[in-house]
A and B are shown apart, each in its own frame.
Chain A
Amino acid sequence: MESFEPYEEFKPIPLPVLIIAVALALWGVFTLLDNGKAVTVGRAERSDQIADQHANRQNGAELFVSRCATCHQPNGSGVEGAIPPLASSPFLKASPEVAMHILLNGIDGPIRVGDATFEGHMPSFASVLSDADIVRLVTHVRGTFADRHDLLTEGDVATARLLAGRRGAWQGGQEIAARLDASLGPQPPMSSATQAAIDPIAQKLVSQGNGQTWACASCHGMRGQGSASVPRLAGLPAAYIAKQLGDYVTGKRRNETMQLVARTLKPQDMRRIGDYYSVMRAPSNARASLGGDLVRGERLVLDGDWARGLPSCVSCHGPSTFGVAPSFPALSAQHPEYTAAQLTAWVSGTRDNSTGRLMNGIAARLNDADRRAVADYLATLPPVPAPATRGRTNGK
């Protein structure tokens, strides 16, 4: 009996328990260090980004390549029948204020350049370019394509910007000529018959809801701009919006909040909401925020990476990613958190509703860094110049 007590005292901790304890401790330390490293790397990336954006800005030529050349072309030729040329354009030969006002407000109507008339839509760059950017861009474009070298100041842009917020896009060349420079010559008149009327039923659905669930605007904002993981809707194709709402109901696209909302909507409501948002012009409130590599993002969006079987974004979503109705949504000025989350959702299968399942394969070929790069670059682009007027748009 006396030997019993010492036996109890000397009973060792079982070896497996020790192993578990040591392994758990190792895991804990490793996880702590790893998280710490990730946070440090993330911060470093973020600060590099900010430094890049604020201290080491793009010069005029670089701004031109990344903001203008996708439409107006690197050589300023424009696109036959669609995009006015810049080379020798009277709008550039005029005072620098004309180019500045066009950049700030965009154009939404017919314009005559040389001996051709263009019925197009140019975005407003007010929400994505700083005063200094606009000065550099105007100086570069006028110097290169019109051999004009008189200067604009940042003060001029700041003043014009105050007024720019109060008016929408220029209603074609005629308004620009009348308001800014009569020497631009005769310009085609705006056709008022095509003005899209606001649908009161859709407006009520968007701003007040249908009495059963939230109003669209309670999350997506009164101007359809969205924020962070809530997408921008302004300017997306009507049929695309209606299709997404339908897909929330069927579960092809999964999101609990949107499923609750969509289930209360009739198909004709979905269509009305789509129509309502599709003609909405709203400034961008998106900012690159994921620490993505903007240069890599620009390459992927404009050229793709064919070595990995990746076509460019613009080959389907259209030049400048303004979308191609009805199937391909605009991507520009979308919030990077949302874009990156969707690219992940195509891979994880929570979203499986793209045309021909094209996005599944594309998203799978993008790694995490590429997703952030693409999402951040798209956030720097100007918002889609939604046709507030219905011209000869295709696919409607």
Chain B
Amino acid sequence: MESEERERVEGGEERARPLMGRGVRTAIIAIGGGAALFVIASLAFDAGIFSDRGEVPMSPDVAQAQMFQPPAETSIPDGPAGDAVRRGQAIFVNTASNAGDFVGNGVACASCHLDSGRRANSAPMWAAWVAYPKYRSKNKQINTMEDRIKGCFTYSMNAQASKSGGPPPAGHAVYKDLETYMHWLATGAPTGANMPGAGYPTLEKTSLGYEPARGQKVFVAKCAACHGADGAGQLDINGRIVFPPLWGPNSFNWGAGMARVNTAAGFIKANMPLGQGSSLTDQQAWDVAAYIDSQERPKDPRQTGSIEENAKANHGGDSYYGKRIDGRLVGVGTP
């Protein structure tokens, strides 16, 4: 019995030992393999094979990169032509100081044409330059580039409230310098071609339509921190405009393209809030544009008779001009 017992026990131990050994070995291989994998992964991570720490994923703006690229600012030539380009650029970004006689509000060319007129989908100047002269239904005639710029001063920069009381007279140096700047920006662009990124994108109408009351909520959440709850824009400590006014006496007047809801909606969708373009839904862009463009602003300089007459003549489509909101007639102008 005893020997039998011993034999059984010994036999059992002999059988158990290889089993245990196998278990240990499996464990070592598992742990070792895991550790080796970890080490290899760490090495790969250190070598930067995986992207991390924001080093690689810088999300280049692919859409913008595929558009026409205007020449770099450093390549402005020396000499009289280059000087004109620089003067034009200075007028473009700082219109009130360099063409101050013709600006009647707090808006500059670069307020709507972002990145000094370079930004695609923000009505870039390289695309505009090759599209003119052209016929415009706005004034039912062929417009040269000078005519077009004159329109910007008249409406977007509300020239009738400026020192001179109107846009620069025909042939003025302001036009020459701005056109030289645009011509230079369009270096290499095909004349007459429909360039991707030209103008502001056209936004499809939504099934809900647009509505100022909904837009007000979007405005408070997304726009007011920069443009002010009253839409008057904001100044820095020296009284300099940092965020342009969107309505009120210091904003663009009723004749400006941006006073049309569809134009504003396209601009906003593509470019606002600054640095977060395309972050608003189409519905939000339409609604907030409706809110902004239902506020009062300087009167339309084309108005000679009544608002109703001017509305009929010049304000078809997506405009609140001449309509009534809560009993208030829109388009009477700001004091």
Interface, chain A (partner B; CB < 8 A): 14, 16-17, 19-20, 23-24, 26-27, 30-31, 34, 71, 73-75, 77-83, 85, 118-121, 303-304, 306-311, 315-316, 318-319, 322-325, 327, 347, 355-356, 358, 361-362, 364-368, 384-385, 387, 392-395
Kindly state whether residue B43 has any CB partner on chain A within 8 Å.
yes
The 9 closest A-B CB pairs, nearest first, are A16-B32, A82-B240, A318-B236, A394-B235, A23-B39, A120-B238, A80-B96, A309-B61, A355-B225
Kindly state whether residue B311 has any CB partner on chain A within 8 Å.
no
Inter-chain CA distance A27–B47, complex, in Å, is 11
Set A307, A315, A356, A395: member contacting B60, Cβ < 8 A? A307
A306 and B115 form a contact (CB under 8 A): yes
Set A20, A358, A368: member contacting B53, Cβ < 8 A? A368
Residues 270-292 (chain B) with a chain A CB within 8 angstroms: 273-277
A308-B58, A322-B237, A387-B237 in contact; A80/B276 too (CB < 8 A)? Answer: no
Kindly state whether residue B31 has any CB partner on chain A within 8 Å.
yes
- Kindly provide the distance from the CB of A339 to the nearest chain B CB, expressed in whole angstroms: 16
B53 cross-chain contacts in A, Cβ below 8 A: 368
Inter-chain CA distance A115–B280, complex, in Å, is 46
A311 and B275 form a contact (CB under 8 A): yes
B39 cross-chain contacts in A, Cβ below 8 A: 20, 23-24, 26-27
- Kindly provide the distance from the CB of A201 to the nearest chain B CB, expressed in whole angstroms: 25
- Kindly provide the distance from the CB of A245 to the nearest chain B CB, expressed in whole angstroms: 19
- Kindly provide the distance from the CB of B225 to the nearest chain A CB, expressed in whole angstroms: 4
Inter-chain CA distance A34–B46, complex, in Å, is 9
Among residues of A, the one whose C-beta sits closest to the C-beta of B225 is A355
B36 and A358 form a contact (CB under 8 A): no
A20 and B96 form a contact (CB under 8 A): no
A23-B40, A34-B46 in contact; A16/B31 too (CB < 8 A)? Answer: yes
A20-B32, A26-B43, A356-B225 in contact; A316/B242 too (CB < 8 A)? Answer: yes
Kindly state whether residue B65 has any CB partner on chain A within 8 Å.
yes
B43 cross-chain contacts in A, Cβ below 8 A: 26-27, 30
Inter-chain CA distance A85–B277, complex, in Å, is 35
* Most B Cβ at <10 Å: residue of A79, A347, A368: A79
CB 8 Å contact bits of B56-75 with A (1 = contact, 0 = none): 00111100110000000100
A322 and B236 form a contact (CB under 8 A): yes
Interface, chain B (partner A; CB < 8 A): 25, 28-29, 31-33, 35-36, 39-40, 42-43, 46, 53-55, 58-61, 64-65, 73, 86-87, 90, 94, 96-98, 100, 103, 114-115, 118-119, 221-222, 225-226, 228, 234-243, 273-277
Inter-chain CA distance A395–B35, complex, in Å, is 59
Q: Please list 7 pairs of residues, one from A and one from B, whose beta carbons are closer than 8 Å in the complex, sorted by A's number.
A: A27-B43, A73-B94, A80-B96, A82-B235, A356-B222, A356-B273, A367-B58
A304 cross-chain contacts in B, Cβ below 8 A: 115
- Kindly provide the distance from the CB of A363 to the nearest chain B CB, expressed in whole angstroms: 8
B31 and A319 form a contact (CB under 8 A): no
Number of cross-chain contacts by CB at 8 Å: 168
Inter-chain CA distance A304–B64, complex, in Å, is 14
Among residues of A, the one whose C-beta sits closest to the C-beta of B275 is A311
Among residues of A, the one whose C-beta sits closest to the C-beta of B221 is A356
B235 cross-chain contacts in A, Cβ below 8 A: 82, 324, 393-395
B65 and A307 form a contact (CB under 8 A): yes
Set A34, A355, A364, A392: member contacting B54, Cβ < 8 A? A364
Inter-chain CA distance A309–B120, complex, in Å, is 11
A77-B98, A327-B225 in contact; A367/B118 too (CB < 8 A)? Answer: no
A310 cross-chain contacts in B, Cβ below 8 A: 275
Inter-chain CA distance A362–B226, complex, in Å, is 16
A365 cross-chain contacts in B, Cβ below 8 A: 58-59
B64 and A307 form a contact (CB under 8 A): yes
Among residues of B, the one whose C-beta sits closest to the C-beta of A83 is B238
- Kindly provide the distance from the CB of A150 to the nearest chain B CB, expressed in whole angstroms: 28
Among residues of B, the one whose C-beta sits closest to the C-beta of A366 is B54
B275 and A73 form a contact (CB under 8 A): no
B237 and A121 form a contact (CB under 8 A): yes
- Kindly provide the distance from the CB of A232 to the nearest chain B CB, expressed in whole angstroms: 16
Among residues of A, the one whose C-beta sits closest to the C-beta of B53 is A368
